[in-house]
Each structure stands twice: as structure tokens, then as C-alpha cells.
């Protein structure tokens, strides 16, 4: 099993991230939030312009490859003040349970340490019990809760987890 996590360095790779999100998000989130909210979030956060804007504002995307096939994506941000954020971490359904998520989390921690960060944060839906368990098993701890108004009457009801580097 050859796992590679490769930084996205040009806009030509952004449609791959968008297509992965369109595949993965409904399956993950439709049981946690209304499907209309999932569609709204995909339309607003995963169109090519939104992905370009996220990159321009410092979000560093990575594609996750397993044996030559793209199986997921992640994004990280270094805020320059000693902390960073794991913005995104998603795997195709058939890739879950193989330890790849744990390896992606290890990549994020190594990335933060290489930059001299003190800690990383991440947001996770409070009802995403599977992801919460993965994060907790990897040493991430509850930091605070947050409710985010994302527009059109939709909210994100999240736990924020912290990993001390």
C-alpha cells in the first residue's frame, strides 16, 4: 500500500478536489444536516472560484493518493501566530477503516511541527461520531464548541478540537 499526500500547487488540480467533495459530502453529511445544507455548502465552498480564494488566503490543499489513485483530500492553514488549522480531511467511503485517516492526521501533525506551530485546531460536526472517535484516538482534545451561521438559515454546529504540538 503506497500512500502519498501531495500538495496542490496549481489551479488545474482544483476540479479533482471539487469532484471528491461532491462524491464524499452527501454520503457523510446527509444524515447529520439537511441535504439542502450539504448542497448549499458544496455550491458555496467547493466551486472553483471558492477553492481558488481559499488557496489565495493561505489554505494549503493536498490530494491523497493510494497506489496511484486519488482517494481523498485535506487542507491545512498556518496562521503565522503559532497555531494552524486542519481545515479539511476527507476520504472516499471505500478507503475508510484502512488507517488512512490516521496517517493523514499524522501528516498534519508533522506539517505543523515542521513549521514550529504550537497547536492545530479543527472543526468537526457534533454529530459526526465516527470522525470524533478517530480524532480522539489520535490525541485531539475538545477545545470549545461553535455554532456558525453559514447563510440561508443554515448553521454548522461544531466541536473544535485541539492538538498540542
The CATH number of 3-164 is which of 3.20.10.10, 1.10.10.60, 3.40.630.30, 1.10.150.530?
3.40.630.30
Amino acid 27: pLDDT: 96
Cα 88 from chain centroid (whole Å): 1
Sheet strands (E) in 11-153: 60-66, 69-78, 83-91, 119-125, 141-151
Confidence of residue 81 (pLDDT cuts 50, 70, 90): very high
User: pLDDT digit string (tens) for 48-67?
Assistant: 999 999 999 999 999 999 99
User: In degrees rounded to 5, what are phi and psi of residue 44?
Assistant: -90, -30
**Domain locations along the chain:** 3-164
Query: What pLDDT sits at residue 1?
Result: 84
Please give the average per-residue pLDDT across 71-87, as a whole number: 98
Amino acid at each position: 500500500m503506497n500512500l502519498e499526500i501531495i500538495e496542490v500547487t496549481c489551479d488545474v488540480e482544483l476540479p479533482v478536489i471539487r469532484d471528491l467533495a461532491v462524491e464524499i459530502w452527501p454520503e457523510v453529511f446527509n444524515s447529520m444536516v439537511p441535504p439542502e445544507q450539504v448542497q448549499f455548502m458544496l455550491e458555496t465552498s467547493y466551486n472553483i472560484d471558492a477553492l481558488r480564494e481559499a488557496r489565495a488566503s493561505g489554505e494549503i490543499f493536498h490530494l491523497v493518493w493510494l497506489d496511484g489513485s486519488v482517494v481523498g483530500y485535506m487542507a491545512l492553514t498556518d496562521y503565522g501566530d503559532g497555531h494552524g488549522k486542519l481545515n479539511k480531511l476527507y476520504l472516499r467511503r471505500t478507503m475508510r477503516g484502512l488507517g488512512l485517516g490516521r496517517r493523514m492526521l499524522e501528516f498534519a501533525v508533522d506539517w505543523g511541527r515542521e513549521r514550529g506551530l504550537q497547536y492545530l485546531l479543527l472543526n468537526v460536526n457534533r454529530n459526526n461520531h465516527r470522525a470524533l472517535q478517530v480524532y480522539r484516538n489520535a490525541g485531539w482534545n475538545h477545545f470549545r464548541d461553535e455554532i456558525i451561521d453559514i447563510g440561508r438559515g443554515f448553521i454548522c454546529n461544531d466541536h473544535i478540537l485541539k492538538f498540542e504540538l
